[in-house]
A = this chain, B = another copy of it.
Amino acid sequence: MSDTIAVLGGTGALGRALALRLARAGHLVVLGSRDAERARASAAELRETLSATGVDARVDGEANAGAASAGEIVLLATPWDECGASITALTGELAGRLVVSCINPLGFDAKGPHGIAVAEGSAAEQVAALLPASTVTAAFHHLSAPSVADLDNDLSGEDVLVCGDDAAARARVVQLAADVTGRPGVEVGALRQARVLEPFTAVIIAVNKRYRTRAGVLMTHVDPARPAPAPKAAAQAHA
């Protein structure tokens, strides 16, 4: 399945890395940036990287609004923004889109990395509140950008944890994760689980520092390709 995927914050380390892998998987990827020229330059670099591996990839770059309009699926790989102005500015463009928040609100002090308190509970829930006409999920918090950017790196041993309130959207992001890592994402429930997924990145960063590594997370004893049947709407109503 090939989709048009916009990556806002597409010139940042994680955004570029995800775009690279999604383009390699055959998707048309549109990088979004506040600076359209930077987005186009990054897109050209990614095309060149993939061309060197024999992949004729489709990667474009645009200003954020244009990228958001183009994408059927829109990844938010942007820095945490407490006031949410950059998201609010795109409410119209993102209407009807499947939005995937990869945002990690993190802080660092003498005790190490930590999650920042978010009024809405999590960055993903903030995004959902700002985008009532979009379907919002959250995923891709825990992959190390350099690990994703290195195409020789086998990521199929780590999990992408996916949350969201819409079952079909979660299932779509689970498949998108497979296009990045080679392994379907793992569904972890409602969007509010982002309250845990986002600051778990601070745990990973602390581990990276303590063990001098680029850690990821794997849920043991889970076959992500074999979820139990989703409960029916009627069954949910009685749950």
Contact = CB atoms under 8 A, between A and B. Distances in A.
A232 interface: no
A115 interface: yes
A228 B203 contact: no
Pick the most buried of A161, A186, A220, A222: most chain B CB atoms within 10 A of its CB. Answer: A220
A224 B211 CA distance: 8
B113 A189 contact: yes
A197 B203 contact: yes
B222 A213 contact: yes
A97 interface: no
B211 A223 contact: yes
A114 B211 contact: no
Nearest to A237: B110
A233 B236 CA distance: 54
A220 B209 contact: no
A211 B157 CA distance: 18
Contact of A187 (B197, B199, B210, B219): B210
Interface string A208-239: 01111111111111111011100000001001
Interface in A87-141: 110-115
A195 interface: yes
A113 B219 CA distance: 17
Contact of A192 (B111, B204, B219): B111
A158 interface: yes
A39 interface: no
A186 B209 CA distance: 12
A99 to B, nearest CB: 19
Interface string A183-201: 0001111101101110110
A213 B202 contact: no
A215 B227 CA distance: 13
Nearest to A213: B221
Given A161-B203, A195-B199, A203-B197, A220 B215 contact: yes
A101 B182 CA distance: 37
Report the 5 A-B pairs with minimum CB-CB distance, sorted nearest first: A189-B206, A111-B190, A216-B220, A218-B218, A112-B189
18 contacts: A112-B190, A113-B189, A115-B195, A188-B203, A188-B210, A189-B203, A193-B202, A193-B203, A196-B200, A210-B228, A211-B224, A213-B223, A214-B221, A215-B219, A215-B220, A216-B219, A217-B217, A218-B219
